[in-house]
Structure 1
Amino acid sequence: MKEILYIQAGSQANYIGTHFWNTQESYFTYGDDEDPETCHSISFREGLNSKSEPTFCPRLLAFDHKSNFGTLSQANALFGMGDTANEQILWTEDPVEYKQEPVRKSRYQADMEELDLDYGDTSDAQLDDVRYWSDFNRLFYVPRTVQKIPDVPEWEDAEGNWTAGHETFTRFDEDTGLMEGPFRLFLEECETIQGIQIIHDASTFGGFIDSFLTSLRDDFVKLPLLVWPLLSDAPLSNTADDRRGTRKAINDALVLRSLSELSSMNIPIQSSTTWADEVCTNTYMHASKAHVYHTSAILSAHIETVTLPLRLYNAKEDIQSFVGQLSWRTALPFTELSGAFPHAGTIELDRGVYSFSSAASGPWHPIHFGRRDVTRGFSRSGITSYNEWINRSGIDDSLISSTHAAAYPLPTSFPNFFGTAMPQNGPSGILSRPRSTSVFSSIGASSETADLFSRYATFLEDCARRKISVERAGIDVDEMGDMANDMWTFHDNAGGGTDGNSDEDVRGEDED
């Protein structure tokens, strides 16, 4: 058994994680004769609830500010119904109680209690009803999964505040015993842990995760870490009146530099504000690029798909071998996520693949140093077309490995943003929301990663030249030049200049 511990930190990360875990729950067969597709014990911990009944719950630490949890609490139907135990009030006078009105259940949560959302019934809950990431959650969690970070005061801005993130972790660890309590308990439950998968919002939890990983590495130097930093929406440009955007961009750069030292492999994800419109609106679906409920569903589909080989029953891969395949020709622990969702059989991979790390769409022809592809729900002819596409690309076969798996399941919690052109998987003759779809997802170490670092390097050089100082950004003006040099080093290690474009010329112009 090679278990994975999962970490989610931040609102967007938990939106993605909620979709991810709802999908994992859909793999449970519940006594059917059919063999399970995935090994549940890799991602789920088996334990007992308060009534000594067996349970399967995610092996997860979910961090977010308290106000973002919605109705989710440490207590639930499996582990106690009250959020806090009734306490005896030690007060001689008549107390006056002020209680905050509880968060009302979402429509989907109410439908889950009243309808059978697994066998034919559907919920009308959609975008307007989703206020928190817990509004479409389908699972129970052990109490230590829920890690509520104190809310940021109204007069402070948490985005891009690298210094505050470190301070928050220190206080939270001291108050809750996080590292020696919940974190270590999850690790000790594992027989042979293969590593940790982390997804976090860089703008609000960048400094927090940096401190978390620094503390983790004190005791677990070689533990494989697969990290998905969700970059901010800050454009890489400097304007005198946009200090907030500048601070977020500097924070992103600090996150990338930190992860280069602490993590085994990192897959940066660009903000959905940078995505091409066709990623969300195409022949098969009409998703809202402005709502995290929709964009997180798309990202989760790709993250869940491309990491599927780590969770397959009798899987031969683990995080260490996964990382090794992608990094054996490059010294830089950064790769890119790309894919096509949904892949309904007629989208040509030459044009339909989108990079979520570089925010670039096809034609997709980077120079690859290693790549891991996963297809879901491809027909025989679809797999043949995929193989022909690989042959046309001219990539050395030794650099690519592929997994072809069953279609990606779509639980009822998944947004119903598919159009009528989407192939239906419901009963014959009945128009219903699809129950699964085809997906192509890929992680690759390629020359496109170099462009990401060259843009941050140029941005930091401009900040240093203009002596732009941003409060609590975690770096002085005098240090920006050094960090720009670090970004250029990452650029070179990622194959910058190998594609024949103007990488070296751009750097030369910046240095003149």
Structure 2
Amino acid sequence: MHEIVTLQFGHFANFVGAHYWNTQDAHFNYEQPADDEEITPELINHDCLYRIGMTSKLAAEEEEDNVAMNDVKTWSDFSRVYFHPKSMVTMSGYQLNSEFMPFDVFSYGRAAFIETEKEKESYDENLRLFMEECDQLQGFQVLVDVLDGWGGFATSFLERLREDYPKSALITYGLSDDQMGKSNTLRERQVSAANEILSMASFSKLSSLYVPVRAPTQSMLSAEGWSKNINMNPSSRYHTSAFISAGVDSALLPGRLRRGSIFMPDMIGSLNWRNITTIGTLSVGLPFPFGSKSIPPLAGKWSPLLDLSSRNEDIDDQVFSQSVVLRGLETDQFARYTTGTQNTPRGFVDELLDTLPIGKSLGDSNSSPPNLRVDGTSIDSAKRINWRMMTQFEGDGPGGVNSDEFEEAKESLLDMYDIYNE
């Protein structure tokens, strides 16, 4: 087997992860003989999961197939998967959405990692357990909230991970959820922005590829990438996380196929072929508007895909490389447009849609084409940061960021901006 170890940090990351693992569970064939080493006839599945999240529920219980949107309060309300006890690590000392013990600053996450390791030694006791079970590790997939302290926590975790696995492929999705980061004051919004900046600077160094991902919002409903087949409430984390998980699930699908696989190190290597363009974007279309005579452009302002990474729609894209996954197309549909493609069985699409709460009946529509690419869009957005405003968060005390760390983050992102604009 070729495993991908998934790391999840934060509440919204666990929402996305719950949908993701529900989909993986739908792919799995439980009727397969126990002595058969193959996971499924069509793909190589994940078998390693390490999760960090603030929740008191340590074992996911089997839920009804149809979960009412208003009944979903946390990710465990709709998770259908039973996890190994070592998959769950709770962090003491902070409470979700607490006004008295907030976990809303990057530096809080740094400190929390140190305290958690002193108390539980989760890195040695939990992660190493799953690593020992891997036969041929493809790499690491990380889902992390970046608007609060989880960015700092994950940074410390990945720094240690890189000491043990310096050359392993590692893709990090930095998740921004407006519902989780909803703030009423200017300072709270500024703190969230500072957390996001520090996370981007850290993860772009620690990851083979860092992909910032923002949850779809009401203002994006009229943009390309949406269709009458999507029934989504953008104010529901249950729904927005499902949309993101569809893209995450499809992005690395080539590495899970049994035949014609493109493993994670090769795919990321082709995206970051210069080894210096480590920030990419994720775009998704559900379903894909596949015409009878042509394929619409997959990059730029005319793309039918919804860009989940960029915050400035007026920036012109400069695409260095991209990986496109189209699910559910019949071979003859695509053959006249390109060659050398790997056809994805229709069942993969049906199982994906069955696990998500946002899909209506798609009929014969093509579905879920994520476009994972490396370009200068996210970096160009970072160039427009008001650095003078951000200096108010410098300081070594609570709620502040070490001035050296802040300056290093600033210089790192500005250097990255220059790289993307060479």
TM-score interval w.r.t. the shorter chain? 0.7 to 0.9
Q: Which residue of 2 aligns with 1:491?
A: 417
What is the SS of the residue equivalent to 2:53?
strand
Which amino acid in 2 is paired with 1:374? V
Change (3 A) 1:240 1:310: closer
**Do structure 1's residue 366 and structure 2's residue 317 form an aligned pair?**
yes
Shift of 1:269: 0.8
Quick check: 1:227–1:266 contact (8 Å CA) kept in 2?
yes
**Do structure 1's residue 62 and structure 2's residue 51 form an aligned pair?**
yes
Change (3 A) 1:35 1:15: closer
Shift of 1:482: 5.2
1:256-405 maps to which residues of 2 (within 5 A)? 256-273=200-217, 276-278=220-222, 282-314=227-259, 316-329=261-274, 331-343=276-288, 345=290, 348=296, 350-359=302-311, 366-380=317-331, 382-383=333-334, 387=338, 403-405=342-344
Which amino acid in 1 is paired with 2:86? R
Shift of 1:25: 1.3
Change (3 A) 1:207 1:313: same
Q: TM-score, normalised by structure 2?
A: 0.83
The separation in 2 between residues aligned to 1:361 and 1:472, in whole angstroms, is 36
Shift of 1:358: 0.6
Quick check: 1:8–1:14 contact (8 Å CA) kept in 2?
yes
**Do structure 1's residue 242 and structure 2's residue 247 form an aligned pair?**
no
Shift of 1:232: 5.5
What is the SS of the residue equivalent to 2:24?
helix
**Do structure 1's residue 13 and structure 2's residue 13 form an aligned pair?**
yes
**Do structure 1's residue 206 and structure 2's residue 151 form an aligned pair?**
yes
What is the SS of the residue equivalent to 1:196?
strand
Quick check: 1:351–1:361 contact (8 Å CA) kept in 2?
no
Which amino acid in 2 is paired with 1:368? V
Change (3 A) 1:173 1:283: same
Quick check: 1:26–1:411 contact (8 Å CA) kept in 2?
no
Quick check: 1:228–1:269 contact (8 Å CA) kept in 2?
yes
Quick check: 1:338–1:357 contact (8 Å CA) kept in 2?
yes
Change (3 A) 1:39 1:416: same
Instruction: Give the one of 143, 157, 165 matched to 1:220.
Output: 165
Shift of 1:490: 1.0
Shift of 1:451: 1.3
Shift of 1:23: 0.9
Quick check: 1:232–1:248 contact (8 Å CA) kept in 2?
no
Change (3 A) 1:482 1:23: closer
Q: Which residue of 1 aligns with 2:386?
A: 459
Q: TM-score, normalised by structure 1?
A: 0.70
Instruction: Give the one of 130, 145, 150 matched to 1:186.
Output: 130
Which amino acid in 2 is paired with 1:8? Q
Q: Which residue of 2 aligns with 1:22?
A: 22
Which amino acid in 2 is paired with 1:290? S
Shift of 1:247: 1.2
**Cα displacement string for residues 208-243 of structure 1 (whole angstroms, at most 9, x for unaligned residues):** 101111122222222221111113649xxxx99511
The separation in 2 between residues aligned to 1:460 and 1:402, in whole angstroms, is 45
Shift of 1:164: 1.3
Shift of 1:65: 1.1
Shift of 1:437: 5.8
What is the SS of the residue equivalent to 2:16?
helix
The separation in 1 between residues aligned to 2:86 and 2:404, in whole angstroms, is 42
Shift of 1:342: 2.0
The separation in 1 between residues aligned to 2:312 and 2:185, in whole angstroms, is 28
The separation in 2 between residues aligned to 1:469 and 1:32, in whole angstroms, is 56
The separation in 2 between residues aligned to 1:423 and 1:492, in whole angstroms, is 43
Shift of 1:249: 0.8
- Percent same amino acid among aligned pairs? 25
- Any gaps of 5 or more consecutive residues in structure 1? 45-58, 77-104, 112-116, 118-122, 388-396, 426-435, 499-512
Q: Which residue of 2 aligns with 1:126?
A: 68
The separation in 1 between residues aligned to 2:8 and 2:401, in whole angstroms, is 26
Shift of 1:248: 1.3
Quick check: 2:251–2:372 contact (8 Å CA) kept in 1?
yes
What is the SS of the residue equivalent to 2:386?
helix
The separation in 2 between residues aligned to 1:386 and 1:132, in whole angstroms, is 43
What is the SS of the residue equivalent to 1:337?
strand
Q: Which residue of 2 aligns with 1:441?
A: 370
Shift of 1:317: 2.5
Shift of 1:468: 5.9
Number of aligned pairs?
Answer: 398
- Any gaps of 5 or more consecutive residues in structure 2? 34-38
| Cα RMSD for the two superposed structures | 3.3
Q: Which residue of 2 aligns with 1:114?
A: none
What is the SS of the residue equivalent to 1:228?
strand
Pick which of 474-483 and 210-219 moved more: 474-483
